[in-house]
Amino acid sequence: MLKPLDDKLVTWLREKIQQACSVHDMIDLARKVGYSDAAIDAGIEAARPRSSAWVDGTMAAPPLLRRAPPTLRNIGAPRLDLFTLDGFLSADECTQLIGLISQNLQPSEVSHYTGDREFRVSQSALLCFMQSPLADEIDAKICRTLGIRAGYSEGVQAQRYDVGGHFKPHFDFFGAGSDPHRSACSVRGNRTWTFMVYLNDDFEGGATRFTEIDCAVTPKTGTALFWNNLAADGAPNPLTKHCGETVTRGHKFIITKWFRLLGDGPLFYE
């Protein structure tokens, strides 16, 4: 007999939704351990976020932009919310993170296969799964600095790009009608802000280029680069198309955290 809905399933689904896991994968795993489809559907409905990043019909600027510290620079105006924040992490924090990341690397994946095996050449580490105090501290620091609560975010990831490593032009948002969109957005909504931090600059190449506005950002240790993937009306912003240019010497390390439209509880730290 198949298992009915229970608190264990709801708790597990809520955790996986918070981690932005694939809904298809969650359903398959729940089936494998014996839950009925009716229980899984009810569990997803019980676990799904109930709050939205919309405020009065639009997305309000996060507190960091309203505080406007002197280290914040707007490099994408007027058509793209694109910023740098110098000194977000100290050199010591970056060094510690590089050490942690280097012990937990695996080949990077893409949200959907493009047919190009060389589309993304890098290694990744899922800091959010490491149960590391350092990783948890950095995750919380990103949320508090930007001013958006963790309930509206995905866990932090890290990437290492060696010589020849790159990430061809792509979007961080999920395109409407695609399988990744249906799976990723059905319970969390689309991605809003991307928050990336450069952990080192002792390499050559590896700039982050926004191809539609011809803006290239040169990595600088501890500097955060962040942007809103959506326009004010919630539609994906095509000007966010970007790439990680090829590393030609050394190793490039970054961490990245994405935020979502749907979450639990208050949106902002005030």
In a domain, 219, yes or no: yes
Parallel/antiparallel/unpaired status of strands 252-260 and 191-198: antiparallel
Structural domain count of the chain: 2
Over residues 194-215, mean pLDDT = 97
Domain check: are 170 and 207 in the same one?
A: yes
Q: Alpha-carbon distance 254 to 137, whole Å?
A: 16
Q: Which two tokens stand for residue 103?
A: 């012990």
Domain check: are 130 and 232 in the same one?
A: yes
Lowest-confidence segment of 20-29, 62-71, 204-213, 231-240 by average pLDDT:
20-29
Domain check: are 180 and 251 in the same one?
A: yes
Domain check: are 162 and 233 in the same one?
A: yes
Domain check: are 72 and 179 in the same one?
A: yes
Domain check: are 109 and 234 in the same one?
A: yes
Domain check: are 80 and 180 in the same one?
A: yes
Interacting residues of 87 by C-beta distance below 8 A, sequence separation 6+: 71, 222, 223
Domain check: are 97 and 63 in the same one?
A: yes
Per DSSP, helices labelled H in 80-210 are 91-102, 133-146, 179-188
Domain check: are 83 and 197 in the same one?
A: yes
In a domain, 28, yes or no: yes
Q: Which structural domain, as residue segments, surrounds residue 213?
A: 54-263
Given a cut of 70, is residue 115 above it in pLDDT? yes
Contact 105, 124 (CB under 8 A): yes
Domain check: are 41 and 59 in the same one?
A: no
Phi, psi of 242 (to 5 degrees): -150, 165
Instruction: Supply the pTM of this predicted model.
Output: 0.92
Domain check: are 38 and 157 in the same one?
A: no
In a domain, 268, yes or no: no
CATH assignment at residue 84: 2.60.120.620
- Nearest C-alpha neighbor of 255 from the set 130, 82, 135, 149: 135
pLDDT in tens, 142-189: 999 999 999 999 999 999 999 999 999 999 998 876 666 566 677 888
What's the Cα-to-Cα distance from 161 to each of 121, 123, 125, 144, 170, rounded to whole Å? Answer: 7, 7, 12, 28, 17
pLDDT in tens, 88-106: 999 999 999 999 999 999 9
In a domain, 30, yes or no: yes
Contact 194, 172 (CB under 8 A): yes
Domain check: are 13 and 88 in the same one?
A: no
Task: Give the sign of the dihedral formed by CA 216, CA 219, CA 223, CA 225.
Answer: positive
In a domain, 270, yes or no: no
In a domain, 269, yes or no: no
